[in-house]
């Protein structure tokens, strides 16, 4: 038995074109039969190995090799060039690429599950915020002719968009003559919120509904001064005053 066969590690002897001239018994047991060493590599390692061996220098690199036991096993390749051929020893690493891929896939599944859970939480939060917006502009019927919508919190475009459908539907079905918007509970008024409110007032006006704005604080009155909504809606004092006037 030759000394090569007795080597306790996978050993290959290659010519300068990477054809296998000889191999140890351990190499035969670990790798499939192949004429070229390149055939034992995964696709991603071929260029890496040919560049490395093409220098015809001594050294080592890591690469993935297709073994009998499993594909894509990570090895450290030790190479020595002796002017005629390469002497190659391949040492299997503790972990192989398959295990690494499985770990990555497992982590990806965990991240996907986390993303799904976050999406569910996001949807629950959006649903809660939507409910809050609906509760921030309740539609209250005062009489057969008059309805009342008190705003609570910041008057922004989300508040108006969330409630404009319900408001329009209610005034249409009940055939109200007047609709009061109460600003007593309003905090900040945004420009987008004011724009959406103007659109709602215009739509109500087309439906024959007269709108009244009540409960304005000084800072709100200053903001609304000169706005087109002044041409579309009447501005008055308190709810009690308006009820006495219309009841």
Beta-carbon neighbour count of residue 91 at 10 Å?
13
CATH topology of domain 11-95: Beta-Lactamase (3.30.450)
**Hey, is 16 helix, strand or coil?**
coil
The strand pair at 178-189 and 210-214 is best described as parallel
Query: d(Cα 140, Cα 173) in Å, to the nearest integer?
Result: 14
CATH topology of domain 136-246: Transcription Regulator spoIIAA (3.30.750)
Query: d(Cα 151, Cα 189) in Å, to the nearest integer?
Result: 11
Query: d(Cα 68, Cα 30) in Å, to the nearest integer?
Result: 6
Whether 12 contacts 30, CB under 8 Å: no
Q: What are phi and psi of 183, to 5 degrees?
A: -95, 10
pLDDT of 14-34, one tens digit each?
A: 999 999 999 999 999 999 999
Residue 149 is predicted with a pLDDT of: 87
pLDDT of 65-98, one tens digit each?
A: 889 888 788 888 888 888 889 999 988 876 544 5
Domain locations in the chain as residue ranges: 11-95, 97-135, 136-246
Across 75-84, 93-102, 117-126, 195-204, least confident range: 93-102
Does this model's pTM top 0.85?
no
């Amino acid at each position: 038995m030759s000394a090569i066969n007795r080597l306790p590690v996978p050993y290959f002897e290659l010519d300068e074109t990477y054809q296998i001239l000889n191999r140890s018994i351990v190499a035969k047991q670990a790798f499939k039969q192949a004429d070229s060493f390149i055939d034992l590599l995964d696709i991603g390692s071929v260029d890496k190995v040919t560049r490395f061996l093409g220098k015809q220098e001594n050294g080592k690199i890591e690469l993935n090799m297709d073994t009998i036991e499993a594909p894509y096993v990570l090895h450290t390749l030790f190479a020595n060039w002796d002017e005629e051929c390469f002497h190659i020893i391949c040492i299997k690493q503790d972990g192989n690429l398959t295990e690494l891929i499985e770990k990555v896939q497992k982590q990806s599944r965990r991240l996907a599950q986390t993303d799904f859970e976050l999406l569910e939480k996001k949807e629950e939060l959006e649903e809660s915020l939507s409910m809050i917006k609906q509760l921030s502009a309740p539609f209250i019927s005062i009489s057969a002719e008059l309805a009342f919508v008190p705003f609570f919190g910041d008057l922004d475009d989300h508040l108006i968009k969330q409630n404009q459908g319900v408001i329009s539907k209610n005034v249409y079905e009940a055939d109200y003559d007047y609709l009061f918007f109460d600003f007593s509970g309003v905090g900040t008024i945004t420009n987008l919120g004011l724009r959406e409110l103007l659109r709602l007032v215009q739509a109500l006006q087309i439906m024959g509904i007269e709108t009244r704005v009540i409960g304005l604080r000084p800072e709100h009155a200053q903001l609304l001064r000169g706005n087109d909504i002044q041409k579309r809606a009447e501005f008055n004092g308190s709810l009690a005053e308006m009820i006495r006037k219309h009841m």
